[in-house]
Homo-oligomer: A and B are copies of this chain.
Amino acid sequence: MLDATSSYKPMDRRIPVDDRTGHRIVPETIRRSDRAPENRYGNRPTMKDVAARAGVGLKTVSRVVNGEPGVTPETERRVQEAIDALGFRRNDSARVLRKGRTASIGLVLEDLADPFYGPLSRAVEEVARAHGALLINGSSAEDPDREQELALALCARRVDGLVIIPAGDDHRYMEPELKAGVATVFVDRPAGQIDADCVLSDNHGGARDGVAHLIAHGHRRIGFIGDMPRIHTAAERLRGYRAAMEDAGIPVEDSWMSLGVTDPERVRRAAEEMLTGPSPVTAIFAGNNRVTVTVIRVLAEQTRRVAFVGFDDIELADLLQPGVTVVAQDAAALGRTAAERLFRQLDGTLVTPERIELPTRLITRGSGELPPAD
């Protein structure tokens, strides 16, 4: 074994040096040994290779690739030919390292598969594209740790900015990043423990309007099913529900509220309990789209007609019997507004963090206009 290792040692450790440049001359075999070949991107051609083939200098290739002026058409042609022949493509990692800007922004969202976030994500992408930036995204799956991990990974990639749909409620981990100049906008839910830009829907007002709508149609015993109050949107909507009830002078019974419930099985149970309890509700307000779809299923099975209003619009809501009345928020507008603020931060146009609330819209389709039946 000692023999084996020692046999790899070159006899003379001194490395020959080029007299003119002072550069070390290292045999190709040794030089290459420092690269782990399996780690390379299949040895793609570099500008150096293109330059050699076109018989020009490195910088000239760079100029052609970037469309900088000061290159004769003839030279440009030769370089372009070499580029095509070699299949050269500029290495943006090196470019980023040199230039300091990545022309990409990150999006941390909760779940790409949720139909609410698709349009939001798409809107962010469109704005990014208009500014020549790429979008890198990741799903936190509603896990605060994963949100942090993702956000910081994106910062390590040196994204120019970050749009975050928070899963957690403590974002102090972003402080060094903000200080370092990473543009950041929180969307859908506010940042926790730090002062940052955020773009929200008017969750409180929307929920209040929705519940008031039910009250206006004669309901007094109204149920609320929503997510955990530690989630800002859920808390605000609950607050809106309470506000509407209080405005109407209706005392809320505990059995009418079910919090922290989103998975279909538990939503179903919660809905059934409030419909059959000692003080059965005549209407239900759902805190988000996932709750809505389950509650609708439960209501479809009831013989009694129960009124319903949901937060978030859902597809085909108009085709159901009755049509589903909802408080709609504009996911695309949320994404667009957030992304635009992000780029204004990057421009330097924007300095003071603000909280922006976008209005919601009550869409009446039938289910919310049913009279109390008891």
> Which residue numbers of A lie inside 8 Å of B, CB to CB?
35, 39-44, 87, 89-94, 96-97, 99-102, 104, 111-115, 117-119, 121-122, 125, 129, 134-139, 152-158, 175-177, 179-182, 293, 296-297, 300, 314-316, 318-321, 332
Residue of B nearest to A179 (CB): B87
Pairwise interchain contact A39-B100, C-beta atoms closer than 8 A: yes
Q: Are B92 and A158 in contact (CB under 8 A)?
A: yes
- CB closest chain-B residue, reference A44: B180
- Cβ of A250 to closest chain B Cβ, rounded Å: 30
Residues of B within 8 Å of A153, CB to CB, are 134
B41 & A180 in contact (Cβ 8 Å cutoff): yes
Task: Determine the chain B residues whose CB is within 8 A of the CB of A104 once the complex forms.
Answer: 136, 157
B99–A97 CB distance below 8 A: no
- Given A41-B100, A136-B136, CB of A155 within 8 Å of CB of B112: no
Q: A115 to B102: give the CA distance in the assembly, Å.
A: 30
Q: Is the CB of A93 within 8 A of B90?
A: no
Known: A137-B137, A293-B316, A297-B319. 11 other contacts (CB 8 A): A41-B180, A44-B180, A87-B179, A89-B156, A104-B157, A111-B122, A113-B118, A134-B157, A135-B136, A135-B138, A314-B316
* Nearest neighbor of A124 in chain B, beta-carbon distance: B112
Cα A332 to Cα B112 in complex, Å, equals 12
Which of A43, A119, A175 is most buried by chain B, counting CB atoms within 10 A of its CB? Answer: A119
Q: Which residues from B are CB-within-8-Å of A118? A: 112-115, 117-118
Q: How far is the CB of A334 from chain B (nearest CB, A)?
A: 13
Question: Does B122 contact A158, Cβ atoms closer than 8 Å?
Answer: no
Contact check, A296 vs B316: say whether CB atoms are below 8 A apart: yes
Which residues of B are found within 8 Å of A121, using beta-carbon distances? 112-113
With A41-B158, A315-B293 known as contacts, the answer to whether A125 contacts B139 (CB < 8 A) is yes
The complex places the Cα of A168 from the Cα of B87 at a distance, in Å, of: 21
Report the Cα distance A320→B117, complex, angstroms.
24
Known: A135-B136, A316-B316. A87 touches B176 (CB 8 A): yes
B316 near A181 with CB under 8 A, answer no
A318 to B301 CA separation, bound complex (whole angstroms): 12
Q: How far is the CA of A100 from the CA of B43 in the complex (A)?
A: 9
Pairwise interchain contact A156-B90, C-beta atoms closer than 8 A: yes
**CA separation between A158 and B182, bound complex, in Å?**
23
CB <8 Å contact, A113 and B122: yes
Whether B101 lies near A112 (C-beta < 8 A) is no
Contact (Cβ within 8 A) B101 A91:
no
From A149, which residue of chain B is reached at the shortest CB distance?
A: B129
Residues of B within 8 A of A152 (CB): 89
